[in-house]
A and B are shown apart, each in its own frame.
Chain A
Amino acid sequence: MKIRPFRLALLALSLLIPAALAAVVLFLLIYAGPALGFNGFGFISRITWNLGDLYSDPVTTRGVLVPPGASYGILVFVVGTLLSSGIAILIAVPLSVGAAIFLSEIVPPRVRPVLSMLVELVAVVPSVVFGLWGIAVLVPFIGNILGPALSDTLGFIPIFAGGNSGGGYGLLAAAVVLALMITPIIATTLLDALMQVPKENRESAFALGATHFEVVSKAMMPMVRTTLIGGIVLALGRALGETMAVLMVSGGGLNILPSSLFSPISTIASFIVSQLDSAEGDPTNMAVRSLAEIALVLFIITLITNAGAKLLTSGLPHVHLRSKKH
Chain B
Amino acid sequence: MKFANKFSRSTFLRAGVAALALAGLTGIAGTAKADTVTLVESGSSLLYPLFNLWVPDFTAANSSIRITTTSTGSGAGIAQAIKGLIQIGASDAYVSDAMSAKHPNILSIPLAISAQTINYNLPGMTGKNLHLSGPILAGIFMGKITKWDDPAIAAANPGVTLPDHTIIPIHRLDGSGDTFIFSQYLSASTPAWKSALGYSTAISWPAIAGEIGAKGNAGMLAAAAANPYSVTYIGISYAAKVAAAGLGTAALKDAAGEYVLPTPTTIGNAANSVVTDTPPDERISMIFADGPMAYPIVNYEYAVVSTSQPNGDVATALQTFLNWAITTGNSPQYLDKVHFLPLPSAIQILSKTQIAKIQ
Contacts and interface: CB of A to CB of B under 8 A. Distances in A.
B230 interface: yes
Contact of A167 (B2, B206, B230): B230
B98 A277 contact: no
Nearest to B43: A277
A279 B201 CA distance: 9
Contacts of A166: 168, 209-212
B201 A48 contact: no
B79 A280 contact: yes
B227 A189 contact: no
Interface stretch (B19-27, B218-226, B274-282, B311-319): B218-226
A277 B97 contact: no
B99 interface: yes
B96 interface: yes
Contacts of B97: 55-57
A148 interface: no
Given A55-B98, A57-B97, A166-B168, A280 B76 contact: yes
Interface string A137-156: 00110010000000000000
A104 interface: no
Given A135-B222, A277-B176, A281-B201, 17 more contacts: A50-B204, A53-B198, A54-B200, A56-B198, A166-B209, A166-B210, A167-B168, A169-B223, A188-B2, A189-B2, A234-B4, A255-B207, A274-B173, A274-B174, A276-B76, A278-B75, A279-B175
B16 interface: no
A189 to B, nearest CB: 6
Contacts of B1: 230, 313
B353 to A, nearest CB: 24
Interface string A33-54: 0000000000000001111011
A152 to B, nearest CB: 16
A280 B75 contact: yes
Interface string B221-241: 011001100100000000000
A255 B200 contact: no
B100 to A, nearest CB: 9
Contact of B73 (A56, A143, A277): A277
B178 to A, nearest CB: 12
A276 B200 contact: no
B213 interface: yes
B248 to A, nearest CB: 17
Contacts of B204: 48-51, 254-255
Given A56-B98, A123-B3, A279-B75, A264 B175 contact: no
A143 B229 CA distance: 13
A257 B207 CA distance: 9
B288 interface: no
A124 B209 CA distance: 36
A95 B298 CA distance: 51
Contacts of A238: 7
B200 A264 contact: no
A4 B1 CA distance: 32
Contact of B173 (A56, A247, A276): A247
A248 interface: yes
Interface of A: 48-51, 53-58, 67, 69, 123-124, 135, 139-140, 143, 162, 165-169, 185, 188-189, 192, 230-231, 234, 238, 247-248, 250-256, 264, 266, 273-281, 283, 313
30 contacts: A50-B204, A54-B201, A55-B96, A56-B97, A57-B97, A57-B98, A58-B98, A135-B222, A165-B210, A167-B226, A189-B2, A230-B1, A234-B3, A247-B173, A247-B215, A252-B212, A254-B204, A254-B205, A264-B212, A273-B174, A274-B175, A274-B215, A278-B201, A279-B175, A279-B202, A280-B76, A281-B78, A281-B79, A283-B96, A283-B98
Contact of B213 (A123, A143, A252, A279): A252
A58 B99 CA distance: 10
Contacts of A49: 204
Contact of B207 (A169, A256, A278): A256
B212 A167 contact: yes
Interface in B1-59: 1-4, 7, 10
Contacts of B73: 277
A167 B219 contact: no
B103 to A, nearest CB: 9
B141 to A, nearest CB: 12
Nearest to A188: B3
Nearest to A230: B1
Given A49-B204, A275-B175, A264 B226 contact: no
B219 to A, nearest CB: 7
